[in-house]
Amino acid sequence: MPVELKQIGIIAQKEFWDRIRNRWVLAVTAIFVFFALVIAYFGASQEGVVGFSSIELTIASLVSLAIYLVPLIALILGYDAIVGERERGSLDLLLALPVTRLELLLGKYVGLSAALIFSIGAGFGLVGLFLSYRIDPGALGQYAGFMLSTILMGMAFLSLSFLISVFATNKTIASGTAIALWFFYVLVYDLILLGVLVVTEGQLGGDFFPFLLLLNPADIFRILNVFSLEQVKTLYGLATVFPESLANPWLLSGSILLWIAGPLGLAYWKFR
């Protein structure tokens, strides 16, 4: 059945304004601004200095922040998108209207993505504006690249949250799964890979290691940013195990786009 953009727009608009009205966007923007400023200022304290350092080191600090915060926020944002409507009992009312399930899913995804993009844009954008007085304006392009990749990572985790929302039978299961997924991708996944490499002294999985990193959108985001910052690349051990050939920004961006389309496609397959 053909998709009507108007229907997607109406649903997206409601989802977006809901997040503006309930101050979700404001709260998340404030969180980004606060943590980004703190991290940008104290990021180099391990080296015995405080203050706003080079843009590359600042971005490296912000990457670490974004890897923890953005997936969590995106997963929390979307986990109840469908299961919440179903549990509340409003799903039947919506689907009895001239709306297809694909339009409903996309409308919600677009609306929540817009809220996420707005928060990331406003939060990190304000910090970027603040930093622009202290750093070489030419380096702001790198900062914009960081923001763009943060948005893509957020959208990938939002897409995963939709997958959870469609498969979960109730909101409790959905929220538990969302938190578990965050733990897995942000805290556990790299540890497992590293553990396997150390235990087997690189015998097992060494060749696949770079590809295994592509199975985690948070790692793709990290690689994308680390490899685009010359000064930072050498600081990260990652650069020694990840081949230069796979670190192509287009390839990595393409991978993260697949992480957006894949779970969302799977969610639609189940939802329809």
Partner 1 sequence: MPTGAAGLKENIIEISQVSKQFGRIAAVNHASLNIHKGEIFSLIGHNGAGKSTLFKMMLGLLQPDKGIIRIQGKAVNGKQFRQVRRQIGYLPENVVFYDHLSGIETLRFLGALKGADLNSCGALLDQVGLLEAARRPVRGYSKGMRQRLGFAQALLGEPEMLLLDEPTTGLDPAGIREFYQFLQQLKQRGVTIVLSSHNLAQIQEQVDRIALMKLGDILTVGSVQDLREQLDLALQFQVFLHTSSAGEPLRHALMNLSGCKPRFDGKMVSISCDRKQKMALLATLVNTGGVRDIHIQEPSLEDLFLGYVDETAPAQNQTARS
Question: Given the rule CB under 8 A, which residues bind partner 1?
Answer: 1, 4, 7, 10-11, 14, 18, 21-22, 88-90, 92-99
CB 41 within 8 A of CB 51: yes
Residue 134 or residue 272: which is nearer to partner 1 going by CB?
272
Q: Three-class SS of residue 49?
A: coil
Question: At which residue do the structure tokens 């953005």 appear?
Answer: 70
* Dihedral (Cα; 129, 127, 78, 182), 10-degree rounding: 140
Distance between CA atoms of residues 16 and 41, nearest Å:
32
Which amino acid would we find at residue 75? Answer: L
Q: What are the b/e assignments for 220-249, b being 16+ CB within 10 Å?
A: bbbbbbbbbbeebbeebebbeebeeeebee
* In the complex, minimum distance from the CB of residue 101 to partner 1, in angstroms, rounded to a whole number: 10
Q: Which is nearer to partner 1, 93 or 187 (CB)?
A: 93
Of 3, 63, 81, residue with least CA distance to 263: 81
CB-nearer residue toward partner 1: 171 or 233 = 171
Q: Decide whether 10 or 148 has the Cβ nearer to partner 1.
A: 10
In terms of Cβ atoms closer than 10 Å to its own Cβ (0-12, 13-18, 19+), residue 86 is middle
Nearest approach, Cβ of residue 92 and partner 1 (Å) = 5
Q: How far apart, in whole angstroms, are the C-alpha atoms of residue 88 and residue 230?
A: 50
Q: Identify which of residues 102 and 126 has a Cβ nearer to partner 1 in the complex.
A: 102
CB of 13 to partner 1, least distance (A): 9
The C-alpha atoms of residue 120 and residue 267 are separated, in whole angstroms, by 25
Cβ proximity to partner 1, 1 vs 198, nearer residue: 1
In the bound complex, what is the minimum distance in angstroms from residue 190's beta carbon to partner 1? 39
Smaller CB separation from partner 1, 7 or 225: 7
Q: How far apart are the first and last CA of the chain?
A: 12
* Shortest reach from residue 145's CB to partner 1, in Å: 37
For the bound state, the minimum distance from the C-beta of residue 18 to partner 1, rounded and expressed in Å, comes to: 7
Cβ atoms of 103 and 9 closer than 8 Å? no
Question: Cβ 98 to partner 1, closest distance in Å?
Answer: 4
